[in-house]
Amino acid sequence: MNYSLDPSPSDLEDDSIYIDVQQGGDRLDRWLSDHLPEFSRARLQKLIEQGQVWVNDAPCTSKKQAVQAGDRITVTIPEVEPLDLSPEAIPLDILYEDEHLIILNKAAGMVVHPAPGHPRGTLVNALLAHCPNLPGIGGVQRPGIVHRLDKDTTGAIAVAKTDLALQHLQAQFKTKTARREYLAVVHGSPSADQGTVDQPIGRNVSDRHKMGIVPEDRGGRRAVTHWSVVERLGNYSLLQFQLETGRTHQIRVHAAFLGYPVVGDPVYSSNRSIGVKLSGQALHAERLRLQHPVTQEWIEAIAPLPQSLITLIEVLRRRQP
């Protein structure tokens, strides 16, 4: 890979990016994210942690290091390892598909990409069987993945089939051109009909398996969720959520912050029984609207509610006086 904003030709290597800083002042990971939009901020942070980012001929291991005008930054991109994943003939609920992208209705219990404890049976394994040319699009373990859904969250998820589509779709999520709407049954009934939560989310300091409201100066990242009441169901409510950002567990964390945790959420609610068997938290990505990466036409995919969520809503309706 040869890429430079102002390179010295003799310095270039096949797997390095060289950038001469014209204007500094920001922390390293943010500055790199702004100047290298083809890489996610998480990927750049990982490269920093691995010692693959050098500032003025010295390795930098802190993503918070301030960038100064005149700095020379070198980013080394390690060679991509061969994709070691097995295609699996797992049925897919396809909402939209062409040669550039595919939008699926993900089932509850399905992990999006392989991770420790989930090496098989993931959405990626299923996609590799359905799309043989997918390996290498977007990373070793996440080919074509544009955004994620939690394991037990159902609904619409987009996957790119080409590098061009991947970059275009990722840019839409970053610039908020793509819109995502979710439905969730929550405990309680908000006094207002709608509102917005603007609270930063980060890793919970006391439990690394959880996310929480964490100030930005302590590592939290800005997270904005818009919500509105669709239907009041006695001591429960059906809410619609619109994401302005896409942090891990964002809706679940913000719903709990409001005092109305998602029903069936084993992490952020009391997980008390409501008499209806659920396959996961009662959270569903109902609608995904984005621009086609080639034709620029708008695509709107609507994922039908899973039967467990339909049953839950019907049961709660019958329980009302």
Q: Which residues are catalytic?
A: 150
CA gap 162, 165 in Å, rounded: 5
Instruction: Note the residue count of the chain.
Output: 321
Measured CA distances, 146 to 32, 80, 88, 235 (Å):
20, 18, 20, 36
DSSP code of residue 240: E
- Segment holding 1, helix H or strand E: none
DSSP code of residue 297: -
Nearest to 125 by CA among 92, 158, 90: 90
Amino acid residing at 151: K
Amino acid residing at 147: H
Please give the sequence-ordered ranges of beta strands (E in DSSP) within the chain, or none if there are none. 2-4, 16-20, 53-55, 58-59, 72-76, 94-97, 101-106, 154-160, 179-187, 194-198, 201-203, 211-213, 224-233, 236-243, 283-291, 298-302
